[in-house]
Amino acid sequence: MRKTVLRYGIYGLLTSAMLFLIAFLFLKELDYGLQEVLGYLSMFIALSFIFFGIKHYRDQENNGAVSFGKALLIGLLIAVLTGIGVAIVDYIYTTVINPDFASEYLTKSLETMKASMPIEEFERQKALLEQQMKDFGGSGFMAFIMFVTVVVIGFIISLISAFILQRKPK
């Protein structure tokens, strides 16, 4: 089980890092909304290794059988490794590559909000968003949030994969 988790977790980690690099090099001119969609898409692609890791374990290492609990555990561990990779890449990006990311994101978000809501509502939302960025806008916290996001999505994918792939021994 350990080999499967490490192999497929590293595949997920490397895939997320490569997709981030591709997005950074070739898609950085896109607006933040589209970049966010592409970010979630890259998370799902990287987390697809959960399904393949569980299937590999079941078919190649465990004689065609895997319990729901074992499959869920394998998937969750793969998700944790992938999440660590995403968090590291996010931390490096927001501290080394683009240390102004939080302020740039705030500025773009406020521009979008201003164009789409009444002035009174905008002022309330602006104050709230500025306070949130002050409280939670640090690189370490943002990396942690990315880690948690990947693990939560990975948990859901693990549940679905475990349900689909579970098989009792013959």
> pLDDT tens digit string along 78-126?
999 999 988 998 888 888 887 877 777 777 777 777 777 788 887 887 7
Which of the pair, 120 or 45, is modelled with greater confidence? 45
Instruction: Give buried/exposed letters for 101-121 (b at 16+ CB in 10 A, else e).
Output: bbeebbeebeeeeeeeeeeee
How far apart CA 16 and CA 93 sit, in angstroms, is 13
- Specify the pTM: 0.82
89 to 92, 93, 106, 159: CA distances (angstroms) = 5, 6, 20, 26
Q: Which amino acid is at 13?
A: L
> Chain centroid to CA 76: how far?
13
Q: Across all residues in the chain, what is the average pLDDT?
A: 86
Residues 6+ apart with CB under 8 A from 136: 142, 145
